[in-house]
């Protein structure tokens, strides 16, 4: 896969040349892809995916459009679902190399929250804590997601990741309380990445936390929330993931305005 080269994250200046793929303004703290010019996060994530034939691309395009709408509904950046899917691939490549297997993991991670379509805005977007009835409704989203994907044979394996993405390695997750290797590998890998992305992203009640704080939490929960094999893969790929998180942060919170592009 493409190895990101991390540049100085602390600088607040912008690269006048822009993204090497789309020309959009990019901060100097963005990543260089494959040793070449810098890339915006969206284009970088596109380069990280494994591409298949036209049939698979049609499914992929539909899935990405759907989750972009879901991210927008939840007031996400529009890249959250694609980001965690691509970051999950970083770990998945430690365990598999067939493009079709990686594609299924990508789809499962990408569509992990598709079942939230059935959760009312009053619950999904509630600013305060959920009450017991609201939590019960929220916890139905993995099964709802599986049901949405069930009629599509191409998403069979992805649907299992969607169903199991809230399970925990020690059996304390939901909806089925699965334990250990009974949880699909893709879902076990996704769990680590989802926590990493959540902790290193801004929230209404706090700013994004540092990568090392997220790393400490992931290590602490190894064997409980997370599969130790997934945590070991995270440590092996730490340098790559640090660069990808830095790219997200440089895009999310620039401290100066980017240069205006002229056409």
3-state SS string for 9-31: CCCCCEECCCCCCCCCCEECCCE
What are the tens digits of pLDDT across the range 113-167?
A: 999 999 999 998 888 899 999 999 999 999 999 999 999 888 999 999 999 999 9
CA distances (Å), 19 to each of 8, 42, 47, 108, 217, in order?
Answer: 16, 10, 13, 28, 33
- Phi, psi angles (nearest 5°) of residue 168: -120, 150
Q: Is residue 222 part of a domain?
A: yes
Do the Cβ atoms of 92 and 104 come closer than 8 Å?
no
- Does residue 105 register a pLDDT over 60? yes
Q: Is residue 138 part of a domain?
A: yes
Q: Is residue 28 part of a domain?
A: no
In this predicted model, which residue has the larger pLDDT, 101 or 28? 101
Please report which confidence band the pLDDT of residue 85 belongs to, taking 50, 70 and 90 as the band edges. very high
Please count the structural domains in the chain.
1
- Does residue 256 register a pLDDT over 60? no
Q: Could you tell me the residue range of the domain that residue 84 belongs to?
A: 51-252
What are the tens digits of pLDDT across the range 162-215?
A: 999 999 999 999 999 999 999 999 999 999 999 999 999 887 778 999 999 999
Q: Is residue 237 part of a domain?
A: yes
Q: Of 121, 230, 78, 255, give the one whose Cα is nearest residue 165.
A: 230
What percentage of the chain has pLDDT greater than the value 70? 71
Q: Which residue has the tokens 């896969």?
A: 1
Neighbours of 180 (CB within 10 A): 12
* Per-chain mean pLDDT for the chain: 81
- Does residue 240 register a pLDDT over 90? yes
Q: Of 113, 3, 7, 8, give the one whose Cα is nearest residue 48.
A: 3
The pLDDT of residue 11: 42
Q: Is residue 183 part of a domain?
A: yes
Number of H helices, E strands in the chain: 12, 5
Q: Is residue 110 part of a domain?
A: yes
- Does residue 86 register a pLDDT over 70? yes
Please report which confidence band the pLDDT of residue 259 belongs to, taking 50, 70 and 90 as the band edges. very low
The pLDDT of residue 251: 55
The pLDDT of residue 12: 42
Q: Is residue 4 part of a domain?
A: no
Domain harbouring 209, CATH code = 1.10.3210.10
- Does residue 82 register a pLDDT over 50? yes
Q: What angle do CA 79, 83, 88 make, to 5 degrees?
A: 160
């Amino acid at each position: 896969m493409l190895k990101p080269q991390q540049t100085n994250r602390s600088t607040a200046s912008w690269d006048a040349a822009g993204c090497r793929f789309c020309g959009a303004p990019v901060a100097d703290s963005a990543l260089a892809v494959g040793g070449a010019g810098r890339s915006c996060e969206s284009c970088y994530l596109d380069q990280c995916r494994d591409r298949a034939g036209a049939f698979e691309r049609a499914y992929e395009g539909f899935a990405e459009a759907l989750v972009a709408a879901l991210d927008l509904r939840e007031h996400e950046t529009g890249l959250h679902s694609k980001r965690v899917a691509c970051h999950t691939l970083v770990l998945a490549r430690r365990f598999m190399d067939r493009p079709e297997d990686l594609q299924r993991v990508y789809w499962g991670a990408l569509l992990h929250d598709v079942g939230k379509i059935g959760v009312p805005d009053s619950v999904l977007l509630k600013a305060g804590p959920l009450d017991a009835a609201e939590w019960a409704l929220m916890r139905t989203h993995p099964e709802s997601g599986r049901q949405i994907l069930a009629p599509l044979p191409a998403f069979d394996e992805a649907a299992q990741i969607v169903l199991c993405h809230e399970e925990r390695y020690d059996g304390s997750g939901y909806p089925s309380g699965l334990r250990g290797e009974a949880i699909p590998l893709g879902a076990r890998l996704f769990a680590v990445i989802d926590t990493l992305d959540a902790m290193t992203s801004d929230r209404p009640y706090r700013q994004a936390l540092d990568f090392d704080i997220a790393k400490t939490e992931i290590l602490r929960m190894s064997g409980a929330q997370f599969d130790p094999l997934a945590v070991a893969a995270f440590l092996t790929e730490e340098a790559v993931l640090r660069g990808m998180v830095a790219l997200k942060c440089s895009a999310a919170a620039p401290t100066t305005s980017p240069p205006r592009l002229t056409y």
